[in-house]
Structure 1
């Protein structure tokens, strides 16, 4: 007959065999009680034995146990469950014929057990699972896999598996199976089983390269502390030698963090040491003071072309190293920075003529109101020490105070006007005119008039019932004094400020849609951004950093910036400039991206600058033939009349394993990769064919 729930003081503490002891405590510090349901319940005074049978259900401490029968032996402090035993805890499930536990000694046995852990899709079976203490276990004739089904695609088996207090599992006489075919035999295996990070050897990587020869990459992961870890690599390259690498990561208090990575090798082909070093750190000393470092150094300018694989690394033209400190005040920001540039271009023989900024000191005054007037005062100032081994070097002090006034003359119109003065002072070395102090001051002024017009439109669409359109027309005038600056030293473009006497008129549009989602809050998504602008230069002299300009032509290029999102999975963007005199596009930057919920994606980008560069990049990922996935990417240069890089990848994804083939083609190298991975285990090999 049904029995009301009763409290059990001891209970079954096995909890999937691996549950830590005393994990569940009551509010008063004691262990949470267990509750028992069963069809029948009997108690024998001799031995203090309780027997429950028929639809036994025991719950408590975050677990539930179901079985045909259950016994509590009070004098032995033991519990046992028999027949169709199912134990569930935190989403994990253990099925067994029999479970027995001594909750005084924290030992127990599971017979014919099969455990499933959804996190990682782990399946574990063993004829006997034995718990030998709080953190010691033994499994006999065990089988492990992350594949579903009675006949998994792969599995590991071992005659004995021991788990120790340090969190490592060791197996004897282990076999790796594909289906039911044994392929690999391991007399002894060791593997970390704790969910926390564990130190240990990582899967080796082997391969072959036309530049490096046969390769073996041996890696060791060191879990130093909860806030630090490091990976060490030993790279054996038959054509280049043996390299050593380290990747160290850490987190500090107040959110400070950083990492240090380096690689060094004695290149036997070039008979010299080669390598690189990178370090990044952010030290938050207080809410108003922080330190940053971003160090990037390489032993020689060709190192990345010989050893790097990723685009943007192997073909980069320079490296920058910066060390900075920033202090925030109520109305000012003070910062100092050391910036060192390492030029990697082939046409530059060395770094002796590369200009360095050691240091730059900047003081910025945040815009603040002058008394109760609508006028605001702000300023920018910086001091730079320019240094290089060969060439002009020296110092520059740049001061730029500005007064800005705001007003709303009438209605929705907003007006602003500003006036400023920029003073530059120099002390240069190595100039033909001799050393000494030089200076130049430039007057600047401007004004703007704009308005913000907004309207909400009702639509007939049930999914997008409203659309909001915001339109901002603006006219702006800028003036910079025309003054001869040829007597000043030239370090960068801030030493040759171009005279400006220009009016710019623009129209900016924003379109935002409201999408209703039933009971959920509505979603607001930007549908369109469009800005059209053109200027008229009264002097006809100007400088454009993006493209060549036509001297003595008053009208500037028409600039069009747009971003369109017709669907949440589709985006289009463009930034182009049209020359009204030549009736040609001076610059073009167009991109389109689309994707779907299944993993299909495509994108294309085109960039053009007149007489400078013309470049096309395309990429696509196809999941149409799942479980086969394909990826393609190509970068083509029209001005160089050739392909910069092509990449092809084909991957087969099974429920518990995957294999991928990839091919990368660059002007200086071709590479082919094969990667095989087991779910829950990771990559078990990466082969570079050539």
Structure 2
């Protein structure tokens, strides 16, 4: 544990470690005095004007001895680099520099203070007496009775003390009687100890650690907890900084009643649009199989489990290849249906789903999802057309041995964007594709589809556009032999469309906070779609998710309202954002309006009225809602509301609130919430949960309390799940344990 603390501090994951800062200090001193200082715009020793400046009460220079002496409030500066001392003596011939009396060296926010420093600028060695170093990047203090640079890449510190806590009596610190460091190599510590205040908790007589100036390998902060179902557990993450573009984190999670779960998270980045994240957990479960007669096991799910080796693999990857070829890879594969229900917080990253969503915009499926989806997509976009190749696999973890799910394992697509035909007023577009559908058990086969389309935009009157279109669908399907039957079939259909639309805009000059203008944009669209289909006797679909084209004879009206804001800061610099959007959509089925009815039966040509609202009046407030209104039963048939709110509390802190409400009439009604609230004196509390309002049952609830001091923090978490209750404990120290960012060159 103590070794990992030292690894984290002396270099470790932070971009500038102790080793790099010490090297920078000696380099800065060399740079300051290798060039001739400037006094009042002139160099001390003559020559060209150089950017280093020196001021002092008295400055003297001897041409015979090549010695420069500055005394009394000496300040040597260049940009963000400043050296202060009571007295500085520099011998240009020998290269010796001495600074003494209230010596301060500032560089990019880092501060070195010492009683005396002696540097040899020729062999770049030297020492500092009673030095204290503050590293701004990771808020570290390093103190040493004697800090020496003994060679080009070697350093030593005697009487070393390291902490991220302010004050003379830090809450925690690490000490060592003697530290030896070789940059880009290794370091050693003699008599290392970890202190809480003045109490030593850990001691090692000798430690070896890596001393890189970049992100480094080390043990991250462990966490521990207790589960009512699984007993005591502890997790220790180990970080491996492979390079600036790649890293990996290994998770060792011991669960008392289940065994050792091991996890891996691998990240890479090769360009702005090329990055990936691979995550994998595996467990050899002490509980060999599921007991369907056990009430607690049935709470997890009603499906059997006989496998002892349990795992979950998930991946998100975006890669740009030569010739503008883009590749996206999604993998989500689990050993059994119960895995995600039993281990809702797997060993790899408790915030993995949020991170995947933020990084790639493609979150993983919910734990309750009946299928896990994996897909590979390869695209090449040109100016007027695009080519796509994809492969998708749907895992059914409920029936791993007999998966009857149709699998579109191979898909090729070719798309031509709407393009004017040789000066004619017509626009042509095309959707086409080939697919191979596979099943472990069941029919499989191939499919070819073409859908060319013609449109003719007509400006009937000013500001109003009329656009008729026609699309022809043709699909050929070939079924491989299954249960003594194989065959082929072709279907075709056409679709006629007519679209009438316009855009109306108006700008309002207002003064509401930093909002100076509001633009209201109104876009009504009236459309008609007619699409007949063959009789059921002539066509039977063998792969339901593909090529099921229902007959359409529908008139639709949509009304889109947008409200965009122009904001200005104190300097008058503008920024633009959408503060509101309201969309109303209504469809009318002409076939249903003319359908023959039975006595007492009512025609229902009006589709549900669909409404969607999005409000973001302030960056800290986001509200979205949707609802479907049933005209005939006079109720909302389905709907949802999501509210995100952030409240600034000062000191770079925010209270965050989120509420999600989902409603499907006569089927489900649920409420989810998440809140994090900052209290006084460094305390904060939070809660999250999900409740099924239909059966009045709590699916999941969790509560936590957190304390964050200036240099350390602690969190206590309690979770009440469907099939388990557990309590977790995590401790953190400011300044280490962060993964850092991958670099793009």
- In 2 relative to 1, CA 476–361 (structure 1 residues): closer, same or farther, beyond 3 Å? same
- In 2 relative to 1, CA 652–234 (structure 1 residues): closer, same or farther, beyond 3 Å? closer
1:442 corresponds to: 493
User: Which of 117, 120, 123 does residue 99 from structure 1 map onto?
Assistant: 117
The whole-number CA distance in structure 1 between the counterparts of 2:51 and 2:564 is 56
CA RMSD after TM alignment: 3.2
In terms of fraction of residues, the more strand-rich structure is 1
**Native 8 Å contact 1:24 1:31 kept in 2:** no
Residue 287 of structure 1 aligns to a residue whose secondary structure is helix
User: Which of 130, 133, 143 does residue 151 from structure 2 map onto?
Assistant: 133
The whole-number CA distance in structure 1 between the counterparts of 2:514 and 2:112 is 46
Q: Is 1:513 paired with 2:565?
A: yes
**Native 8 Å contact 1:293 1:322 kept in 2:** yes
Shift of 1:538: 0.9
Q: Is 1:572 paired with 2:581?
A: no
Q: Is 1:287 paired with 2:340?
A: no
The whole-number CA distance in structure 2 between the counterparts of 1:488 and 1:627 is 66
Shift of 1:553: 0.8
The whole-number CA distance in structure 1 between the counterparts of 2:106 and 2:210 is 24
Q: Is 1:678 paired with 2:678?
A: no
Q: Is 1:306 paired with 2:342?
A: yes
Q: What does 1:90-489 align with in structure 2 at a 5 Å threshold?
A: 90-166=108-184, 168-192=186-210, 194-252=212-270, 256-270=274-288, 272-309=308-345, 314-345=367-398, 348=399, 350-429=401-480, 434-459=485-510, 461=512, 463-486=514-537, 487-489=539-541
Q: Provide, for residues 156-200 of structure 1, a one-character-per-residue CA deviation record: whole Å limited to 9, x for no partner.
A: 222222222335443222332333333333333455554412234
Shift of 1:678: 0.9
- In 2 relative to 1, CA 184–295 (structure 1 residues): closer, same or farther, beyond 3 Å? same
User: Which of 579, 584, 587 does residue 535 from structure 1 map onto?
Assistant: 587
Name structure 2 gaps, 5 residues minimum.
1-21, 36-47, 289-306, 354-364, 595-600, 740-745
Q: What does 1:607-646 align with in structure 2 at a 5 Å threshold?
A: 607-646=662-701
The whole-number CA distance in structure 1 between the counterparts of 2:413 and 2:672 is 39
**Native 8 Å contact 1:203 1:683 kept in 2:** no
Residue 539 of structure 1 aligns to a residue whose secondary structure is helix
Shift of 1:645: 1.1
What TM-score do the two structures reach when normalised by structure 1?
0.87
- In 2 relative to 1, CA 528–208 (structure 1 residues): closer, same or farther, beyond 3 Å? closer
Residue 474 of structure 1 aligns to a residue whose secondary structure is strand
The whole-number CA distance in structure 2 between the counterparts of 1:640 and 1:18 is 69
Shift of 1:213: 4.2
**Native 8 Å contact 2:686 2:705 kept in 1:** yes
- In 2 relative to 1, CA 23–46 (structure 1 residues): closer, same or farther, beyond 3 Å? closer
Shift of 1:583: 0.2
Residue 579 of structure 2 aligns to a residue whose secondary structure is strand
What TM-score do the two structures reach when normalised by structure 2?
0.81
Aligned pair count reads 660
Residue 354 of structure 1 aligns to a residue whose secondary structure is coil
Shift of 1:450: 1.4
The whole-number CA distance in structure 1 between the counterparts of 2:434 and 2:626 is 35
**Native 8 Å contact 1:25 1:32 kept in 2:** no
The whole-number CA distance in structure 2 between the counterparts of 1:551 and 1:195 is 77
Residue 504 of structure 1 aligns to a residue whose secondary structure is strand
The whole-number CA distance in structure 2 between the counterparts of 1:555 and 1:533 is 11
The whole-number CA distance in structure 2 between the counterparts of 1:71 and 1:465 is 60
Q: Provide, for residues 576-629 of structure 1, a one-character-per-residue CA deviation record: whole Å limited to 9, x for no partner.
A: 111111001011111222222221222212111223321111222212435211
Q: Specify which structure has the bigger relative contact order, considering alpha-carbon pairs within 8 angstroms and separated by 6 or more residues.
A: 2
The whole-number CA distance in structure 2 between the counterparts of 1:101 and 1:109 is 7
Residue 140 of structure 1 aligns to a residue whose secondary structure is strand
1:69 corresponds to: 87
- In 2 relative to 1, CA 361–129 (structure 1 residues): closer, same or farther, beyond 3 Å? same
Q: What does 1:25-44 align with in structure 2 at a 5 Å threshold?
A: 35-42=53-60
2:655 corresponds to: 600
Q: Provide, for residues 612-671 of structure 1, a one-character-per-residue CA deviation record: whole Å limited to 9, x for no partner.
A: 321111222212435211111111112343111112121111111111111121101222
Name structure 1 gaps, 5 residues minimum.
1-12, 543-549, 685-690
Shift of 1:212: 4.4
**Native 8 Å contact 2:334 2:397 kept in 1:** no
Shift of 1:112: 1.4
2:25 corresponds to: 16
The whole-number CA distance in structure 1 between the counterparts of 2:682 and 2:272 is 45
Residue 519 of structure 1 aligns to a residue whose secondary structure is coil
Shift of 1:449: 1.0
Q: After alignment, is 640-649 or 509-518 more displaced?
A: 509-518
Residue 582 of structure 1 aligns to a residue whose secondary structure is coil
Q: Is 1:649 paired with 2:685?
A: no
Shift of 1:96: 1.2
The whole-number CA distance in structure 2 between the counterparts of 1:25 and 1:447 is 79
The whole-number CA distance in structure 2 between the counterparts of 1:463 and 1:233 is 47
Q: Is 1:664 paired with 2:719?
A: yes
Q: Provide, for residues 319-377 of structure 1, a one-character-per-residue CA deviation record: whole Å limited to 9, x for no partner.
A: 222233323345332222221111124xx464431211121121212211112222111
The whole-number CA distance in structure 2 between the counterparts of 1:510 and 1:239 is 56
1:10 corresponds to: none
**Native 8 Å contact 1:82 1:98 kept in 2:** yes
The whole-number CA distance in structure 2 between the counterparts of 1:586 and 1:71 is 85
1:546 corresponds to: none
Shift of 1:81: 1.1
Shift of 1:524: 3.2
2:296 corresponds to: none
The whole-number CA distance in structure 2 between the counterparts of 1:76 and 1:255 is 52
Q: Provide, for residues 431-474 of structure 1, a one-character-per-residue CA deviation record: whole Å limited to 9, x for no partner.
A: 79942221221121010111211122334657444332222222
The whole-number CA distance in structure 1 between the counterparts of 2:238 and 2:495 is 60
